[in-house]
Chain A
């Protein structure tokens, strides 16, 4: 079975970084400013330090990000861009701004929930403001050529990740869900050139395999939800004899789907891609999300859905009844799993996943 490994240096290189926490962050602008865009998402997240600042009934991912900032162990982290993707992220910004002193650059960016022309016009101004704030910070202009270069790198990355996902449509799976998860997670932390090179090699390796080894043919599962802290849910599914073949996650396909289209104005092009990308539950257009999930389920011949929510994530929690009804009507069983993000409830989760897979 083909696999890939990323070293510690791959995932945390000694380069000046700007952290980000939400996939609505236009990473290309950060890269064009000379920083490595770096998703704040630890392998073993903790909320210990953050718990005195953010109440326990707030999203544990937001709390773990604050914890990371308070810990201040990464001297290469020069700043953070926090997007107003939800109430918890807004809270994260208030607290980061006040209590994290290690990052000189802290920028808050608004993202509309609408996606029409007025919203796009406003969002473009927000991306422009991010560029201006970074320019002030680095004391130089970010040239259009640097933005186009960053766009090219990211587009190449996104296309490669889409290619990797495409392979999973086949009934004979040659790559495990946990491996794919590792790739996506690395893409959110690594320098693009080396990531693209590494993923290209993996794709070549899969294509050039002399003897194709497929995974055992178990039920095909799609995970829908917010973001996974680690690959534990995927491991549970795969340990139970099923395969995770696709997802609608911000630590998955929602991150890379759709490229920036080339045009005259790189900021407009970037804004358009990010606002109109595969939508998160925070966006208004729920119908579009459901249609996309339905198409993914069809294209990847999915037999069961795991609806994952990070604890206290209102946007995804409020959508669950809708997804439940929608997939039940489509004849696809749904299992809801709530993650506390810091490793609790694993035993209970295992039992539920196993029972679900058995039922399929």
Chain B
């Protein structure tokens, strides 16, 4: 059925303020009785930040995912992430248009569709002039390349933060020094001084959000699952870009309160829970029926998803760069593969899942490079695991019938 609150979006609309005003209104009106207020608030945060960027009121940087967000919020700089922009475009049904722009500009279709859509948006100058482009190296090569392209397209400074895939003190110290240098340069670009107090405040906010996020994750261990996984997967945005903002504290606090009530009442938004799953990697961002099929038809709850795992300790406001560096370096998926698989197995046990579903986004090289080791680690523990080759931003590579068949086989095997 057609949702009358769903906007038909064109790429030109995204450059106009009216689009964000209307989106904000529709977000408030959208009928979804089990949607958390926190999720509405998060959507509003995303709309507001993009609105500010379009208005040109505030400086922003184009960044890759898992940004040092505390530093950016302390400097009052909006982080706009190429990956999350691409996934939003996919949600609007616009990814194919931007993928086409990338391909016309000699970008091969054999790369990750999320970043290729992102580079299409950069080439097309979907965004206004950024203050700078920044990229982190711990996840993929392509992100650094896309934002390097952004720095050329917009003729703006480019900060590439090397985040080594190891967990030693040398790595943390190296990242901290780079972050400090970048923060000073960004301050210079803004024509202001880096304020220690503002940095400490952003760290405090990050810690508060972390405290509520940990509570949320604790509550989500409940059976039945108090939250739709399809909704929870959207919180990748918050974990990767939201910490350090006031909004993140409010969103996670609201979420914790709402889930507390649901757990007390043993309420599950999917009605009945037949299977519990741990979800790995990303999700399809274009319009799809996957989650409806999983949650509503097959009664499979996504009890938890790896992207929501809060892996870092409380940050030290006195040492903002070292703390943020630790948050980047200690990312569960960074560092030794065995530490990562230990975390995943722990999550599977903690969330009492029946099986693990890995949504393998085609073109994501670093994810495919570790896949066999992950699979074997679960197998060794006797935890059922399925990996589904799919695409996150291009519906052209998404075959729902096949996908559902694989899910059916897997769920039937679980009993």
Where the two chains meet, the residues of A that have a C-beta atom closer than 8 Å to any C-beta of B are 52-55, 57-59, 62, 84, 86-88, 90-92, 94-95, 97-99, 108, 110, 112-114, 118-119, 121-122, 125, 282, 284, 286, 311-312, 314-315, 317-322, 324, 336, 338
**Does B165 lie within 8 Å of A84, measured CB to CB?**
yes
Give complex CA distance A87, B138 in Å.
9
Are A90 and B366 touching (Cβ within 8 A)? Answer: yes
Q: Which of A94, A112, A113, A284 gathers the greatest number of chain B CB atoms within 10 Å?
A: A94
Complex: A58 Cα to B110 Cα, angstroms: 10
Contact, CB under 8 Å: A321 / B106: yes
Q: Which residue of B lies closest to A88 (CB)?
A: B365
From A55, A97, A99, B368 is in contact (CB under 8 Å) with A55
User: Is B107 on the interface with A (CB-CB < 8 A)?
Assistant: yes
A-B contact pairs, 18 of them (CB 8 A): A55-B371, A57-B362, A84-B165, A86-B141, A87-B140, A88-B369, A95-B369, A98-B337, A108-B166, A122-B162, A284-B148, A312-B110, A312-B365, A314-B111, A315-B141, A319-B145, A322-B149, A322-B152
Q: Closest 5 interchain pairs by CB?
A: A91-B369, A318-B145, A87-B365, A321-B106, A55-B368
Stretch at the interface among B17-25, B28-36, B173-181, B246-254: B173-181
Bound: A282/B362 CA distance, A: 21
Nearest residue, chain A, Cβ from B116: A318
CA distance in complex: A157, B337 (Å): 37
State whether the Cβ of B376 lies closer than 8 Å to any Cβ in chain A: yes
If A57-B362, A57-B368, A321-B106 touch, whether A113 touches B111 (CB-CB below 8 Å) is no
- Whether the Cβ atoms of A90 and B369 lie closer than 8 Å is yes
A91 contacts which chain B residues (CB < 8 A)?
Answer: 365-366, 368-370
B164–A95 touching, CB < 8 Å: no
Residues of A within 8 A of B160 (CB): 113-114, 284
Contact status B110-A87, CB under 8 Å: no
Q: Which residues of B contact A286 (CB under 8 A)?
A: 148
Say if the beta carbon of B78 comes within 8 Å of chain A: no
Q: Are B371 and A314 in contact (CB under 8 A)?
A: no
CB atoms of A318 and B372 under 8 A apart: no
- Report B143-172 CB contacts with A as 1/0, cut-off 8 Å: 011101100100000101010111000110
CA distance A321 to B146 in the complex (A): 12
What B residues does A84 contact at CB under 8 A? 164-165
CA distance in complex: A356, B107 (Å):
21
B411 shortest CB reach to chain A, Å: 24
Note all chain B residues with C-beta closer than 8 A to A57. Answer: 110, 362-363, 365, 368
CB of B257 closer than 8 Å to a CB of A: no
Decide yes or no: A317 and B144 within 8 Å by CB, A54-B372, A87-B365, A91-B368 being known contacts: no
Q: A110 to B164, Cβ gap below 8 A?
A: yes
* Across-interface contacts of A315 in B (CB, < 8 A): 141, 145
| A97 neighbours in B (Cβ, 8 Å) | 337
Asked if A58 and B162 make an inter-chain contact with CB atoms under 8 angstroms apart, the answer reads no
Residues of chain B within 8 A (CB-CB) of A95 are: 369, 372-373
What CA separation (Å) do A89 and B64 show in the bound complex? 21
Q: Which residues of A contact B112 (CB under 8 A)?
A: 314
CB–CB A94/B142 < 8 A:
no
Q: Which residues on the A side are within 8 Å of B319 (C-beta)?
A: none
Complex formed: what's the CA distance from A121 to B173 in Å? 11
CB contacts (< 8 Å) of B362 on chain A: these are 57
Tell me whether B170 and A122 are in contact (CB under 8 A).
yes
**B137 interface residue (CB < 8 Å to A):** yes
The CA-CA distance from A353 to B149 in the complex, in Å, is: 29
B366 cross-chain contacts in A, Cβ below 8 A = 87, 90-91
Q: How far is the CA of A284 from the CA of B162 in the complex (A)?
A: 10
CB-nearest residue of chain B to A97: B337
Whether the Cβ atoms of A113 and B137 lie closer than 8 Å is yes
Closest beta carbon of chain B to A98's beta carbon, Å: 5
Chain A residues whose C-beta falls within 8 Å of the C-beta of B379 in the assembled complex? none
**Distance A307 CA – B170 CA, assembled complex (angstroms):** 37
Candidates B165, B174, B177, B368; contact of A58 at CB < 8 Å: B368
A282–B369 CA distance with the chains assembled, in angstroms: 17
Contact B110 A113 (CB under 8 A): no
Task: Quote the shortest CB–CB distance from A306 to chain B (angstroms).
Answer: 15
Task: Output the nearest chain B residue to A321 by Cβ-Cβ distance.
Answer: B106
The verdict on B105 contacting chain A, using a C-beta distance below 8 Å, is yes
Is B10 an interface residue, CB under 8 A from the partner?
Answer: no
A54/B162 contact (C-beta < 8 A), A122-B174, A284-B148 known: no
User: B174: which A residues are within 8 A, CB to CB?
Assistant: 112, 118-119, 121-122
With the chains together, A86 CA to B369 CA distance in Å? 11
Q: Does B108 contact A (CB under 8 A)?
A: yes
CB of B394, distance to nearest CB on chain A (Å):
14
Please give, as numbers and ranges, the residues of chain B lying within 8 Å of A114 by CB-CB distance: 160, 162, 178
In the bound complex, CA of A95 to CA of B366 (Å):
12
